[in-house]
Amino acid sequence: MDVVLRIAAAVLLASLVVAAWHDVSKAWDTWSYHLPFAARLAGLADASSYTFGRGNQARFDGFPLFGELLQGLLWRITGRAECASFVALAAVPGLAWFLRRLFAVPFHLTILALLAVPLVQIHATATYVDLPANACATMLLLLAHRAVVERRPPSLRVLGGASALAIATANTKFQLVPVVVAASCVLVVISLRRDAERIKRLALIALAIPLVLATPLKNLARHENPVWPVELRLFGTSLPHLETAYASSPVWLEGSPRAVRFAASVLEIRSRPITEHARWSIDQWTPPSEPGYRMGGFFGAYVIANLAALAAAAIRRRSREAVVAAAFAAGATVLTSVLPQSHELRYYLYWMLLLVALNLTLWAREPRARPIAGAVAAGALAIVAWSTGGTYLYPSGDSLATLVAAKVDRAALDRVPAGERVCVQREPWTFLYAPLFHPGKRYAVQEAETPDDCAGARPLE
């Protein structure tokens, strides 16, 4: 059984690597801003050849961009835009290696258990930054969990690693800053305990804080709003912004508290039938009139199995490790349930990653429990793969060249005179008109979300 699971994990991981190399993501956010920002940061498409519209320029100025920076570097190194997805894919073996190194969890079991989560499986070969950011947040929480279990301050090496994880997380996703703060507070409190290295730990923490909060502090200094360009209200006052705060939910939950929406989402109440291939997608989009609009993505039955396993460990064993694990899961549940758009689970993947990881640390290290843990993970993975047709587990998409040919009006582009600046409004495919993707042609693109963004540039006809 164990040999079969090892082979399955290795084959799946190899297949995902090939898919990440070949397939280019066609998700909206990929082409709306992730890859345009990655190209700008890596020097592949400067502001003179591809000028952002007013909205994207504000997002580029204010959003945390560490994830896009890594994507751009991979793109530049490999020469392939498709390889930007390796930032997300690295989160899966990265978290598996972390659990193997710190908690002796078998690498292959972590791979299978993580890929059994639909949103993990889907995001692993996409150019969204939700998965890598949430994987970093999960590892940060696990370091805090370990420090509490061991009842001693973390070493300088561990604290340095925690600082790096906090910096990466907070500078990749705004939504995860509260999670970083919560985990960091646990580590800081434990680090205050008196011993020979206390001063060194406090010095390291003092150095890390401005780096962790680098993006909000920069926005506060430049725009008087830490989450620029998104609206933020403090004490009834709205800080300077360009975009109103995003708020959306299924009609049947519009009047419900965030915690109720979160519970309905993780349990996948009123989701599409599991027999439909569209049950799970990268952002869980459905027509807004559907009850499952932007809901679910963790596989409700798998969530229940993991919750039951964690509760059983805490009740039956009553060990410090199991009780602390249950407490951390409960704390993460309370925190996540009150965060903005808590029912949109891709923003808060760390909740499920932490739940799975805690169960692996408690069960997968025991020889008698390991086969059961492996069977549950493999069974859930098989169901998810069957439901989605396995399309996210192998190279099943288009290459960049195929996508450019399909989405770009080549005839209109051929009519652009050399040296002209044209205004293109083709969301989300506008970036595909950039000169970067059409070597040999000399022109410039003004990106437009609305006709007002054209700023004198001739609209592409």
Kindly report the average pLDDT of the chain as a whole number: 95
How do beta strands 237-238 and 458-459 pair? unpaired
Going by pLDDT thresholds of 50, 70 and 90, the confidence category of residue 209 is: very high
pLDDT at 456 over 90: no
CA neighbor of 258 nearest in space, from 349, 340, 347: 340
**pLDDT for residue 318:** 85
Which of 178-192, 204-218, 365-379 comes out lowest in average pLDDT? Answer: 365-379
291-348 per-position pLDDT tens digit? 999 999 999 999 999 999 999 999 988 899 999 999 999 999 999 999 999 999 999 9
Q: Which amino acid is at 226?
A: P
Give mean pLDDT, residues 353-379. Answer: 93
Contacts of 53 (CB under 8 A, 6+ apart): 446, 447, 448, 449, 450, 453
pLDDT at 147 over 80: yes
**pLDDT for residue 441:** 87
Give mean pLDDT, residues 22-35. Answer: 95
Percentage, residues of the chain above pLDDT 90: 89
CA neighbor of 371 nearest in space, from 92, 117, 106, 7: 106
Q: For the chain, give every domain's residue range.
A: 2-220+296-388, 408-459
**pLDDT for residue 390:** 93
**pLDDT for residue 342:** 96
pLDDT at 52 over 90: yes
**pLDDT for residue 124:** 97
**pLDDT for residue 61:** 97
pLDDT at 1 over 80: no
**pLDDT for residue 194:** 85
Give mean pLDDT, residues 75-104. Answer: 97
Give mean pLDDT, residues 93-102. Answer: 97
Length of the chain: 461
Number of Cβ within a 10 Å radius of residue 182: 16
**pLDDT for residue 369:** 87
Going by pLDDT thresholds of 50, 70 and 90, the confidence category of residue 50 is: very high
Give mean pLDDT, residues 152-156. Answer: 93
Going by pLDDT thresholds of 50, 70 and 90, the confidence category of residue 455 is: confident
Q: Note the pTM of the prediction, 2 decimals.
A: 0.96
**pLDDT for residue 415:** 92
**pLDDT for residue 399:** 94
- What is the residue whose two structure tokens read 């409190």? 189
**pLDDT for residue 245:** 87
Give mean pLDDT, residues 174-192. Answer: 96
398-425 per-position pLDDT tens digit? 999 999 999 999 999 999 999 999 999 9
pLDDT at 232 over 80: yes
**pLDDT for residue 343:** 97
